[in-house]
Amino acid sequence: MELWSSPLWYAAYLLVLIGLAGYGAHRLTIVYLYLRHARRRPEPARRFAELPLVTIQLPVFNELHVVDRLLESVAALDYPQDKLQIQVLDDSTDETTAICEAGVARLVERGFDAQLIHRVDRTGFKAGALEHGTRQAKGEFLFILDADFVPNPDVLQRTIHYFADDKIGMIQTRWGHLNRTFNVLTRIQAMFLDGHLELEQTARNRSGRFFTFNGTAGIWRKGCIADAGGWEHDTLTEDMDLSYRAQLKGWRFIFLNDVETPAELPVDMDGFKSQQHRWTKGSIQVCKKVLPAIWRSRVPLHVKLEATAHLTSNFAYLLLICLCFLIYPNQHAAPDFGPLTYYIVNVPIFFFASVSVIVFYLTSQKALRPGSWWKEIPYLPLLLALGIGMSVNNAKAVLEAIFNHQSAFVRTPKYGIDQTRKTDWRKSSYKAIKSITPLVELLFGFFFLFVVLEAALDGRWSSAILLLPFPVGFFYTSTASIARMLPGPKVEKPRID
């Protein structure tokens, strides 16, 4: 027991909780900014007398299940056909290329200016494909859509006129979710993304802070991209990188939270993990790259502070992993400062570290689903648990970024699932990359199951209840990944018309 008796354990535990509470306080700041500024919807300064030419860029890599759906939705856009150029930027190494060829041929037959641009290598990954396509783009405005997106027909009509102001460099629309209710994981993911897209993006944009392109479902002015230095390949989140560089150059961005562009959420845990790993690692890479330039710039202090909180937010996963190692010693050797000190210290920390998460996501649900937001309340404990369970995967991504470990742009498999079409995605030939992460998560799950049971047997019921999301989260993320590694149904081959 002497091992746990050092007050250093408690000091470290307290510092980690204070760090997590700091990021929780930032969430509450976002909620405040959202409630204060959400009604300040931007309006176009004027409208184009003649609609400009728009190049639609569709970066694709091994997306055989969804590329046809994407092309059909683009063909249905309510925009003059002679004002559209469609680029399929294909880096695929499987049957997707043949599907793209057939789809582009159908578009050309229907009178569209469509072309397939196939690269034989993936230099720069998605950023490289966009850079390559932009050199051949005819339009001054570039509408970028990932393969799993299905734009609404009126999206260009509702966005393009904002570019009549020459200072506007990018318009971002809000992602919708085609398969929100497919399973528990998609329900929780939708809540995660709703919090980011509805609250964070709206609050930052309308309060004059920096906000970033989400990589898809947005329109860029080609001149803005060039002025900011173009697409660069040195991070996994080229969208965030370019966004900060452009805004530091003085370009203005607009986020339209009432213009929804639906997309498909990953339906399996490994797809979700690969996506989160890429986003987390990329954001830390961008943090290292652009944060010094932000602090050297002449933007107001409050803008610098918010950008710092945004770019460093994923360091919270390192704090969460540290917390996992400090909880057990604290359970056994926390100094007794008396009940008054206990509540003065612990209640504020708990509020900012945990309650802030609940307030944040409930606010986003109430904004987006005013008549049914309460139906999402049962998923909040699972959202908290999943956030904890993802800490191993995402902390690994943070460390890789810190120590400059290079890795490829790993795509997130999508299967063409929406509310009307629910395919058996387990038969897909797309499989996740195997790693030891699920085994580490499983060990954490058993460890915290022991911690919770010990607390319950000792009569410390409040501790047992508060710690319950830890084993639930780690068991969920680990077993869902391990199950995906097991042999599945026979693989389906795609049909190419």
C-alpha 446 chain-centroid distance: 29
- Please tell me which residue in 194, 239, 268, 418 is annotated as part of the active site: 239
- With H, G, I as helix, E, B as strand and everything else as coil, classify residue 224: helix
A 10 A CB-CB count for 165 gives 14
- With H, G, I as helix, E, B as strand and everything else as coil, classify residue 360: helix
* Residue 239 falls in the annotated catalytic set: yes
Ramachandran angles phi, psi of 43, nearest 5°? -130, 150
* Residue 91 falls in the annotated catalytic set: yes
Long-range contacts of 467-473 (CB under 8 A, 24+ apart): 467/327, 469/381, 469/384, 469/385, 469/388, 470/324, 470/327, 470/385, 470/388, 470/444, 471/445, 471/446, 472/381, 472/382, 472/385, 472/389, 473/384, 473/385, 473/386, 473/387, 473/388, 473/389, 473/390
What sign for the dihedral angle of Cα 338, 341, 345, 350?
A: positive
What is the total residue count of the chain?
A: 497
A 10 A CB-CB count for 171 gives 26
Tokens at residue 272, please? Answer: 């979700």
C-alpha 421 chain-centroid distance: 24
Which among 259, 224, 258, 261 is positioned nearest to 243, based on CA atoms?
Answer: 224
- Please tell me which residue in 91, 146, 148, 194 is annotated as part of the active site: 91
Tokens at residue 41, please? Answer: 């919807």
Which among 40, 35, 95, 37 is positioned nearest to 65, based on CA atoms?
Answer: 95
Catalytic residue positions, numbered: 91, 239
